[in-house]
Amino acid sequence: MTDTSPATISSAEAIRRAYRAGIALPAFNTPYLPMIEPVAKAIIDQDAFALIAVARLEFVKFEARSQAAIKAEFDKWQDPGHMRLHQDHIPVIDEDGLRIDFLTELQIATDLGYGSVMVDGSRLPLDENIMATQKSVALAHRGGVPCEAELGAVMGHEAGPMPPYEELFASGKGFTDIAEAARFVKETGCDWLSVAVGNVHGAVAQGLKDQPKPKARLALDHIQSLAEATGIPLVLHGGSGIQQEYVLGAVKRGVAKINVATEIRQPYEQTMKATGSIAAAQEAVYERTTTLIRDFFGWSGDAKVFA
């Protein structure tokens, strides 16, 4: 018999259970190492189940330091019944237009014991994205972990101001194409697909990262069509700032993982700037993470789904 106790359930199985139960796992991005402790404590105190995630840009442009440092900090505070560690966004081409040795960085994550990984080839033409994702999926599966991929243009990480949000939404610019998504999933074998459906990343460029995000909406019918075309759990990046009715509607239509970064990063940065106290900044992160789990997502107590 397969042991599926909370201590051993895989990230792949956790997402499958969320998908079947009509809920989603929040993936909390922690670009500063001291954020991991309060995020983990909030997840445990709310008896929730979530991913703690770090993207490549967060150990290049912020202070998460390295994949090994992140894993070591995670191991100090983790509770296997409540969380897993996710390697978010390893890009093929990064936000500055540079080619990245993405397979090496994915291999490091799997070797360190991350529970899941993500390759982001969304800045590539479709055929190149498929090829890069195929290689990444093969690497991840050899390491026994699921691989997330991205198709479509989830904007926000690039330098410079974005076009007006309502203009972007009305045009559907960058939205994940339904036919392309069906082909992409079939040919790559990716486990989860990050889609562009009106969501935007929080800005990370200097001079922009402190600004509030637009109050984003989601094309809910488009999400349902993508879920039907692909048959796999969908992922929503840029979860901060999306209106609650759209987030909950997306979950009902096939989104099983929602990334949250700006909502907990900005309280940390703002409190550090105001007080210079890591402890105070950690408390701000704990309070905001608790509020999100309990009041915004309404997922307190959901750890039982994964027991």
CA distance to 65, 113, 162, per residue, from 70 (Å): 7, 11, 31
Do 186 and 199 contact (CB within 8 A), yes or no? no
Length, in residues, of the chain = 307
How is residue 38 written in tokens? 């309060």
Bridge partners of 25, per DSSP, are 257
How is residue 29 written in tokens? 């991005």
Instruction: Determine the distance from the C-alpha atom of residue 3 to the mean position of all C-alpha atoms in its chain, rounded to a whole number.
Output: 27
CA distance to 117, 153, 191, per residue, from 84 (Å): 11, 27, 16
- Mark whether 302 is an active-site residue: no
DSSP 3-state of 23: coil
CA distance to 26, 89, 221, 234, per residue, from 157 (Å): 20, 11, 26, 20
Q: Which helix (H) or strand (E) holds 268?
A: helix 262-275
How is residue 94 written in tokens? 């990064």
Find the helix packing angle between 244-252 and 220-230, rounded to 10°.
20
Long-range contacts of the stretch 16-22 (C-beta < 8 A, 24+):
16/233, 17/305, 17/306, 18/233, 18/256, 18/257, 18/305, 19/233, 19/254, 19/256, 21/305, 22/251, 22/252
Catalytic residue from among 3, 75, 88, 111? 88
Q: Tokens 């040795």 correspond to what residue?
A: 101
Q: Which residues are catalytic?
A: 88
